[in-house]
Structure 1
Amino acid sequence: MDVKSLLSEAGLEPATLDAVSTIDGLFLNWRRRASRRELGQAALATLDIPLDLPQLDVLFAIAGPLGEPDGGDGETMVGTVADRLSIDPSRASRMVSEMVEKGYARRAVSQADARRTIIELTAGGKAVVEAVRAYKFLIMGDFLSQWPKEDVANFVPLLLRFSQWLDHVGTATDSRAGEVAALAEAVKAATKDSEPA
């Protein structure tokens, strides 16, 4: 199956095909580098923070994401940490307990519901999160400061717009039902031919 021919027959312009191919290659490389957590490793080493990356992730999960609503009253519970890290609550509980034992987090009583236990960062935990975040922003800011201002001004809205492409999967699958069915049939035919006798 020739992917470019199939996409061309589906009506996608050559420039779009080239863009999709280039973006896919960039994402593969980006994912490999992100999985190695190069920036996080560099931050921990350079800032001399005695934590590993999963422990750092817990602190960031307790702190909550910058610029995103947490969807609640601003209080973080073990379940919130589990959701933010996409791990099961029992593992989140163990990891939070480890951060409490190390002095980076503490348990407190919810102001909204006294029956609820919340997790907060200690001064040390906040210092780690703020330092790592600042380190990342310094590196990214240094890189972007070398771009012309108009490129940065154009890039951010385009990146925000592009970040929604995965939300389009269901719609695209429906509007391209014929092409998707042909792909599924091609896979079935190829795998049937390669089954052991």
Structure 2
Amino acid sequence: MNETLTSILSNSPAEPDDDNVPLIGRSMARMRLLTGRRLIGRLAIQSAAPGLELSHLDVLDAVRRAQPAGEVTVGLIAEMLRIDPSRASRVVADMVGRNVLRREASQADARRIVVVMTAAGEALLAEIRAQKFAIISQIVSDWPEEDVERFATLFDRFIGGYEAIFLSRDKDTPG
């Protein structure tokens, strides 16, 4: 028996002690379906910017995440989103046309073009985020405040544990 399988089997009970672990598993499966369909993003776009597609939101978010680390290129956006560079270029061009992004010469190398978020892009992202938070707030609106606080803490802890297990077992992660 390989070491990983032996470790998994020795560190986890064969059957959960109660119905909570299977309930978490079933809930995760339902959430995966909702997340896969990107329902919160779709609802936020419907409210904040009906003409946009999810790919537009993905590009904006990629630019937001990458800008603090340095200059953002179409190639970097494509890499971050795991899409073809030509697709990334088309979405960026559309967003430039909407005045949400702009292209400018790199400060480090004037031959290279970088993508920068405009004030309109920042406002749009803020509105999308506000819409997402409004949806989450609506979901928990009838929960007691203590439940919301406890859920936020426990969910964050659960996701942290999930990430830690993934990182410890992912063969593609340098370590």
Distance of aligned partners of 1:170 and 1:84 in 2 relative to their CA distance in 1, 3 Å threshold: closer
Alignment partners' CA distance in 1, 2:41 and 2:109 = 36
Corresponding residue of 1:154: 150
Alignment partners' CA distance in 1, 2:114 and 2:138 = 37
Which letter does structure 2 place at the counterpart of 1:165?
Answer: Y
Q: State the TM-score, normalized to the length of structure 1.
A: 0.64
Q: Is the 8 A contact 1:57 1:85 kept in 2?
A: yes
Query: 1:120-158 CA deviation, whole Å, 9 max, x = no partner?
Result: 122332232121111111221343454333333333332
Deviation at 1:168, TM superposition (A): 1.7
Residue 96 of structure 1, aligned match among 92, 97, 102: 92
Q: Is the 8 A contact 2:106 2:114 kept in 1?
A: yes
Alignment partners' CA distance in 2, 1:158 and 1:83 = 32
Deviation at 1:114, TM superposition (A): 3.6
Corresponding residue of 1:33: 34
Which deviates more, 24-33 or 82-91? Answer: 82-91
Once the two structures are superposed, the pairs formed by residues 35-50 of structure 1 within 5 Å of their partners are 35-50=36-51
Which letter does structure 2 place at the counterpart of 1:117?
Answer: I
Alignment partners' CA distance in 1, 2:167 and 2:56 = 35
Corresponding residue of 1:55: 56
Q: Is the 8 A contact 2:59 2:77 kept in 1?
A: yes
Q: Is the 8 A contact 1:82 1:92 kept in 2?
A: yes
Does residue 165 (structure 1) correspond to residue 162 (structure 2)? The answer is yes
Which letter does structure 2 place at the counterpart of 1:72?
Answer: A
Distance of aligned partners of 1:149 and 1:52 in 2 relative to their CA distance in 1, 3 Å threshold: same
SS at match of 2:19: helix
Does residue 106 (structure 1) correspond to residue 102 (structure 2)? The answer is yes
Deviation at 1:10, TM superposition (A): 6.9
Once the two structures are superposed, the pairs formed by residues 1-197 of structure 1 within 5 Å of their partners are 12=13, 14-15=15-16, 18-64=19-65, 72-73=69-70, 75-111=71-107, 113-115=108-110, 116-163=112-159, 164-169=161-166
SS at match of 2:72: coil
Q: CA RMSD in A?
A: 3.2
Distance of aligned partners of 1:154 and 1:83 in 2 relative to their CA distance in 1, 3 Å threshold: farther
Which deviates more, 86-95 or 134-143? Answer: 86-95
Deviation at 1:37, TM superposition (A): 2.3
Unaligned runs of 5+ in 2: 1-7, 171-175
Q: State the TM-score, normalized to the length of structure 2.
A: 0.71
Deviation at 1:14, TM superposition (A): 4.6
Unaligned runs of 5+ in 1: 1-6, 174-197
